[in-house]
Amino acid sequence: MAQRDYYDILGVPRDADKKTLKDAYHRLAMKWHPDRNKAPDAEDRFKEIAKAYAVLSDPKKRARYDATGEEGVAHFTSDDLFRDVDLGSIFGDFGFGFGPGGDSVFDRFFAGRRRAAGGEDLTIRLEVPLERIAEGGKEDVHFSRQLPCATCHGYGTRSGTPAPPCPACGGTGHRVSASERNEQEGRSFRIQQITVCSDCQGRGAQPGEPCPTCGGRGQTAKMETLKVSIPRGIEDGMVLRVAGHGHPGQAGKPAGDLLLQVVAAPDPRFQRRGADLWRGVTLDVVDAVLGTELNIPTLDGEAQVTVPAGTQPDDILRLRGKGLPRFGDSGHGDLKLRIAVHLPETLSSGERQLYEKLKQARRRS
């Protein structure tokens, strides 16, 4: 079944609140649950409805879906999707939903996806500039992955066809010796020795001339570039999954997925901590004592900051709302300035006289 928009699946507007989502889900799940509805497509419809509700009822998953569509939530397993869904309250009214041993209806209907095997996933670290995290949008991803060799079509042979099975072992890769009869404590049993086939070295196929392109591996590395949607405010460590762009599967099975572990790219101006940005600011001792005005870089230009008189080392000045968007929520973090005070190591004669006068004045006060 072709994937439809999750809001359309539930028949709700894009600004639907939690109650609207839950009511729509109750109504549709009652209608399409396969234990009640025997239509041929009931199970597919129920899975579609359940997945749409699981994503839209979770603020963070919903924000990711709104930003990136199906691609942004494709990496979630059924356990990820339904971990925080209150199954007891949702299905308690239906009289069904949990099978023997407490398995949820989702375990039953989504188990096929978990059993599906294919190529290995490819995980890479993706450094994203702070400006892209702040705005969201497309980011180019460059990566290398293994693909079936174009010369031998993945078989690893010069002929480009499967190697014939080893005649010595019948393609099993091992040999079984003749059985020997043994008796022990009145019981009779047979012993057979299984050894690696010496003719094919356990490969199960006749040794053939390897493919000159891949050296017999059946795969070659290839550089690829993809444009990936970065959700606005995505947090460090979150993983974006791009289906079908991992390593190839074998025996006709699908390729694995590309997993992008997102982290903020190093930025000389700021350090990221969640939605907040931090920056160190060093003041001259006179400015710390008397106060001053500073122009501070932010993600959207410069901002003027007033440093109050008597500012102390390690004081924090806060620029509210000048951090990153809060992922899955409204509002922004702050830009926080940690103050350091520079003390002069040497003084001119004039400066020393001024400090001496200040010292005397403070003693008299």
Q: What is the pLDDT of residues 308-358, one digit of tens each?
A: 999 999 999 999 999 999 987 789 999 999 999 999 999 999 999 999 999
pLDDT in the model for residue 305: 97
Q: How many CB atoms lie within 10 A of CB 253?
A: 12
Query: What is the average per-residue pLDDT within 212-221?
Result: 82
pLDDT in the model for residue 330: 82
Distances (CA, A) of 211 to 165, 200, 214, 249, 253: 18, 17, 6, 19, 22
Least trusted range by pLDDT, from 120-134, 172-186, 221-235, 297-311: 172-186
Structure-token pair, residue 71 = 């691609």
Q: How many CB atoms lie within 10 A of CB 286?
A: 13
pLDDT digits (tens, 9 = 90+) for 103-112: 344 444 444 4
If one compares 306 and 362, the residue with the highest pLDDT of the two is 306
pLDDT in the model for residue 87: 45
Structure-token pair, residue 340 = 């350091």
Q: Is the pLDDT of residue 182 over 80?
A: no
How far apart (Å, rounded) are the C-alpha atoms in residues 300 and 80?
35
Number of residues that this document lists for the chain: 365
pLDDT in the model for residue 163: 73
Query: What is the average per-residue pLDDT within 72-85?
Result: 67
Q: How many CB atoms lie within 10 A of CB 330?
A: 8
Q: How far is CA 19 from the centre of its chain?
A: 29
Q: Is the pLDDT of residue 118 over 70?
A: no
Distances (CA, A) of 146 to 122, 213, 222, 257: 9, 13, 6, 12
If one compares 340 and 66, the residue with the highest pLDDT of the two is 340
Residue 54 and residue 61 in contact, taking contact as beta carbons nearer than 8 Å: yes
Mean pLDDT of the chain: 81
pLDDT band, very low/low/confident/very high, at 68 (cuts 50, 70, 90)? confident
Share of the chain above pLDDT 90, in %: 40
pLDDT in the model for residue 91: 47
Does pTM surpass 0.75? no
